[in-house]
Amino acid sequence: MKLEIVQAGNPILRQRARPLSMEEIRSREIQKLIESMRTSMHEAPGVGLAAPQLGLALQLAVIEDREEYHKEVPEALLRERERAPVPFHAIINPVIEEMTEQTAEFYEGCLSLTGFSALVPRARGVRVSCLDERGQHRVIEGFGWYARILQHEIDHLNGSLYIDRMHSRSFTSTENLTEFWKGKPVEEIKKTLGVDGE
């Protein structure tokens, strides 16, 4: 079942989602929803998708950074972003904490803000306590790009979007990102755009 991804402006994206009970997690309905979210995420394509993006105010997100997504990315950029494949999993009722004071800034997009991107500072490492798709308790420690994905998806569950955290002067269309900023070091981009601790 293909699900429609709602776009910024839809009020559900600004609500705090409600937790799921163990009974709900194990229900056929939620298990089917998780599979549908996985399909929708792959078709988009994206590396994460949260239930509020589908119009459902539930504390549920799916994540997968597939190896095939890395084939077109230069090795130096993968290293700079600390990006490696992440197998499919769901996070349910997550609680997140920053593990390091270090932050990283990279361009980030969102399936609910189609066609746009911006530089977003994020914690380099996070710890997430959650339930998985089987209702098992998990503690996830994510670093680099995986930490960014976790933070982005958990923001959705709390009614936030990357535009709430972005350097506003870096906000750009996807076309202009490719034309003007692709492959340039973040510090050079920030200097050119006049981004300093906004």
CA dihedral of residues 72, 151, 80, 65 (deg, nearest 10): -30
Give the pairing of strands 48-50 and 116-123: unpaired
Q: Can you tell me the distance from the alpha carbon of 132 to that of 77, in angstroms, rounded to the nearest whole number?
A: 30
Q: What are the CA-CA distances from residue 86 to residues 27, 176, 194 (Å)?
A: 26, 28, 34
CA dihedral of residues 162, 69, 47, 88 (deg, nearest 10): -160
Task: Look up 153 and say whether it is catalytic.
Answer: yes
The rounded Cα 15 to chain-centroid distance in angstroms is 17
Q: How many CB atoms lie within 10 A of CB 76?
A: 9
Q: Which of 64, 108, 133, 153 is catalytic?
A: 153
Backbone dihedral angles phi then psi of residue 23, each to the nearest 5 degrees: -60, -40
Quick one: which of 84, 89, 49, 56 has its CA closest to 70? 84
Q: What are the CA-CA distances from residue 64 to residues 24, 38, 90 (Å)?
A: 23, 8, 9
The catalytic residues are 153
